[in-house]
Amino acid sequence: VQLVESGGGLVQPGKSLKLSCSASGFTFSSYGMHWIRQAPGKGLDWVAYISSSSGTVYADAVKGRFTISRDNAKNTLYLQLNSLKSEDTAIYYCARRASQDRGFDYWGQGVMVTVSS
């Protein structure tokens, strides 16, 4: 199992960014997937979830601004980040939902998003 995030960078407040998570080593379409973030020097913060059937759930802090999506043909998970705020500055990880136990069984290496003028 391998998860590789990309698309991070420096962006101004109010602007947008789209993160990608390329998955390999498993049948991507069969698994739910998460985005989890970690602000510099802080703990883990769950952001969003998409089921294998593309149902979605969001944390209140990002609801209406972020959109999680997936392309099973490309084995890729996405996170569209709009109306970015300084408090969205973090490392963003994608993680796989374990099929039997609802946990986060595999994580990517993370991608840094910095929101600053």
Partner 1 sequence: DVVMTQTPPSLSVAIGQSVSISCKSSQSLVYSDGKTYLHWLLQSSGRSPKRLIYQVSNLDSGVPDRFSGTGSQKDFTLKISRVEAKDLGVYYCAQTTHFPYTFGAGTKLELK
* Residue 110 interacting with partner 1 (CB under 8 A): yes
- Asked if 82 is part of the footprint of partner 1 (rule: CB under 8 A), the reply reads no
CB of 12 to partner 1, least distance (A): 27
**How far is it, in rounded angstroms, from Cα 3 to Cα 23?**
5
What pairs with residue 114 in β-bridges? Answer: 10
Q: Which is nearer to partner 1, 3 or 12 (CB)?
A: 3
| 3-class secondary structure, 60 | coil
Given a contact cutoff of 8 angstroms between Cβ atoms, the answer to whether 26 and 94 are in contact is no
Q: Which of 44, 67, 72, 89 binds partner 1 (CB under 8 A)?
A: 44
Integer angstrom CA distances of residue 72 from 57, 103, 112, 113: 18, 21, 24, 25
Name which position in 28, 31, 35, 49 contacts partner 1 (CB under 8 A): 49
Provide the binding-site residues for partner 1, judged by CB under 8 A: 34, 43-46, 49, 57-60, 93, 98, 101-105, 107-110
